[in-house]
């Protein structure tokens, strides 16, 4: 009988579900909005609905799948059954494993979203299976999955890996967490949006980046930023250069601290913009990495937004 | 027969050797200058001389010791036999284990100086034996020993733990490594000296801190800075406040990244000044640590400059 594994990437904005075979090949996916404001039970139902839609596309019965893995945006209990704390979903001690198992009829395992995506990259993209690896995901926020001595770094209270809240400039802009100059406040898509918005608020001209789409600056998706860069937009180039500089700085700090073999970059910004970003990020990083740690491969994942669902399916595969 | 273990803290400036019993109690010590400019063989001879002097004070024959541990300022080969790279000593691939064993007649093991000092703190001071711990040593430079998931963090090429070269302010002063705004360039004793010197160079008044000792600013030992702070020296207070701010920032970054149970501070600056420094360091750190990682104990080691020799003797004890 054929084996099937379900992988889910549960984000603050969207839910992506995929069905995979035993060789980690994706057979079908489904995407839906998360709508966390509707509450925990509604989000659980939406996860189940996305899984059922993906399973239907793949022509399988989800109850007969060998297992499902869920990458969730928060800290996960050590028995992989509960989401301990997920600020973007406003969840605390959510018994997601039991609730999904009851609705799906197959076994479910939980993982932190960044760790799960890092697992996808580690298993599918990296032949050498490095013992020391950092994966950084640049999107609305900034997260990371860190492997040291061959295992995921969890920390004493399962709160490790908050790369996005590494202070890189104590005089920098205020972050969502309240601290000034966090990496996330300097280099996330939210930071890019804030910089463009304040340039316009300061009386700056509407640049081609903004004129190309709507004239408001309420949303700047990564794809729009890419098209602006391709069109030679000066404001777009400036904010992207700053993002690359701080990302390089963060990578240098992580390399000097953790001395990884590989730094893998993912997330929406990187997926859309890595040809522009990678050379600048590498320059800013390598200039600051100590000689002993400089033999590091800084790469962009080719899995794109499938890194999360792939890693989640691998989580299920490893446990089932 | 009684057991004896020798512990050596090999620094860029001085060598401290101690003789310990099986309960890690120090029986005698000896201190000498390192004089790395005289070359590797001369430094080896000085290490042996310091060990012999400490052993004589303790009334033992070093050749009959159960073993000697050496904490060296650099990266150590995985078989603990060679100092791979020690910039302060200008050593590369130095076969220190074999050379000392030949001269001492007892087995020798090498460790990184910061890891060895962290071992001393972990074993003698911390009842709970934390699985996740960061030790930071503030002196002429800044180093760290980091334990994650119960083991020392070494990284892919044994270059991990370079906390001193974490960039905390990209517009900060240039570090000895060439990068701007490293933690070491902002908060080490060298940074304090540079700040005082440039205040005087800029036409600032000689403050009581400087007038208390010699009128030059060629050397500011930690003890002198302590006496200046106690006397209410305004320049001394200002530079120490800055040191505490950046140390708190660095600790926050490390807590958000590694989520340790304990952050232990040591080194000359902390030994002399922890009553002034700890409250300010804690304030700056806790303000920036994410809620999930905030349950961390930030402490100063009470082992003082014995942390290194104690940990080195424990290294020997564990191996012998």
pLDDT tier for residue A215 given thresholds of 50, 70 and 90:
very low
Please indicate whether, in this complex, the C-beta atoms of B290 and A257 are within 8 angstroms of each other: no
Query: Which chain A residues touch B172 with a CB distance below 8 Å?
Result: none
> What pLDDT, in 10s, does the model give residues B7-53?
999 998 899 999 999 999 999 999 999 999 999 999 999 999 999 99
What predicted TM-score, i.e. pTM, was given to this entire model? 0.94
Q: Are B24 and B41 in contact (CB under 8 A)?
A: no
> What pLDDT, in 10s, does the model give residues A179-194?
999 999 999 998 998 8
3-state SS class at B246:
helix
Query: Which chain B residues touch A290 with a CB distance below 8 Å?
Result: 159, 162, 165, 177
- Dist. CA A39–CA A35, nearest whole Å: 8
Q: Are B5 and B313 in contact (CB under 8 A)?
A: yes
Which of A83-87, A280-284, B2-6, B202-206 has the weakest average pLDDT?
A: B202-206
Average pLDDT over residues A253-268: 97
pLDDT reading at A151 higher than 60: yes
pLDDT reading at B269 higher than 50: yes
CA R_g for chain B: 20
> What pLDDT, in 10s, does the model give residues A269-316?
999 999 999 999 999 999 999 999 999 999 999 999 899 999 999 999
Where do we find the tokens 């070491």? Answer: B184
Please indicate whether, in this complex, the C-beta atoms of B259 and A149 are within 8 angstroms of each other: no
Q: Are B14 and B29 in contact (CB under 8 A)?
A: no
Query: Which chain A residues touch B148 with a CB distance below 8 Å?
Result: 148-149, 153, 155, 160
Q: What token pair was written down for B46?
A: 């000085």
pLDDT reading at B169 higher than 90: yes
> What pLDDT, in 10s, does the model give residues B123-134?
999 999 999 999
> What pLDDT, in 10s, does the model give residues B73-121?
999 999 999 999 898 899 999 999 999 999 999 999 999 999 999 999 9
Q: Which domains does chain A have, with CATH numbers?
A: 5-120+306-319 (3.30.420.40), 129-300 (3.30.420.40)
Angstrom distances, CA of residue B127 to CA of B120, B123, B124, B270, B301? 12, 8, 8, 22, 13
> What pLDDT, in 10s, does the model give residues A130-143?
999 999 999 889 99
Q: What token pair was written down for A20?
A: 């995979």
Q: Are A165 and B290 in contact (CB under 8 A)?
A: yes
Give the mean pLDDT of chain A. Answer: 93
What pLDDT shows up at residue B207?
A: 67
Calculate how close chain B gets to A185, using CA atoms only, in Å. 13
List the beta bridge partners of residue A6. Answer: A19, A68
Q: What token pair was written down for A237?
A: 């180039």
- Dist. CA A264–CA A122, nearest whole Å: 9
pLDDT reading at A219 higher than 70: no
pLDDT reading at A163 higher than 80: yes
Query: Which chain B residues touch A173 with a CB distance below 8 Å?
Result: none
Q: Are A183 and A142 in contact (CB under 8 A)?
A: yes
Selected residue of A170, A178, A296 to mutate for chain B interface (largest B Cβ count, 10 A):
A170
Please indicate whether, in this complex, the C-beta atoms of A156 and B259 are within 8 angstroms of each other: yes
Please indicate whether, in this complex, the C-beta atoms of B170 and A249 are within 8 angstroms of each other: yes
């Amino acid at each position: 009988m054929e084996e099937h594994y379900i992988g889910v990437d549960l984000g603050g904005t969207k839910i992506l579900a995929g069905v995979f075979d035993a060789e980690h090949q994706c057979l079908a996916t489904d995407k839906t909005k998360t709508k966390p404001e509707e509450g925990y039970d509604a989000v659980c139902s939406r996860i189940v609905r996305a899984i059922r839609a993906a399973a239907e596309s793949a022509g399988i019965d989800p109850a007969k799948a060998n297992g499902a893995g869920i990458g969730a945006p928060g800290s996960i209990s050590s028995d992989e059954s509960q989401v301990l704390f997920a600020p973007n979903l406003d969840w605390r001690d959510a018994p997601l494993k039991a609730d999904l198992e009851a609705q799906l009829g197959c076994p479910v395992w939980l993982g932190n979203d960044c760790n799960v995506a890092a697992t996808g990259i580690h298993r599918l993209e990296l032949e050498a299976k490095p013992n020391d690896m950092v994966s950084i995901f640049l999107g609305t926020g900034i997260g990371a999955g860190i492997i040291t001595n061959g295992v995921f770094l969890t920390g004493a209270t399962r709160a490790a890996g908050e790369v996005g809240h590494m202070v890189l400039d104590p005089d920098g802009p205020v972050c969502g967490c309240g601290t000034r100059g966090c990496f996330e406040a300097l280099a996330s898509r939210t930071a890019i949006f804030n910089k463009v918005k304040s340039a316009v608020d300061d009386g700056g001209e509407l640049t081609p980046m903004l004129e190309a789409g709507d004239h408001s600056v309420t949303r700047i998706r990564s794809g729009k930023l890419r098209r602006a860069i391709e069109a030679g937009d000066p404001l777009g180039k400036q904010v992207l250069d700053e993002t690359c500089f701080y990302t390089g700085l963060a990578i240098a700090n992580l390399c000097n601290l953790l001395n990884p073999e590989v730094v893998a970059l993912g997330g929406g910004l990187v997926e859309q913009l890595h040809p522009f970003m990678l050379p600048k990020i590498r320059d800013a990083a390598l200039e600051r990495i100590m000689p002993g740690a400089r033999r590091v491969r800084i790469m962009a994942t080719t899995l794109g937004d499938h890194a999360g669902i792939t890693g989640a399916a691998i989580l299920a595969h490893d446990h089932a």
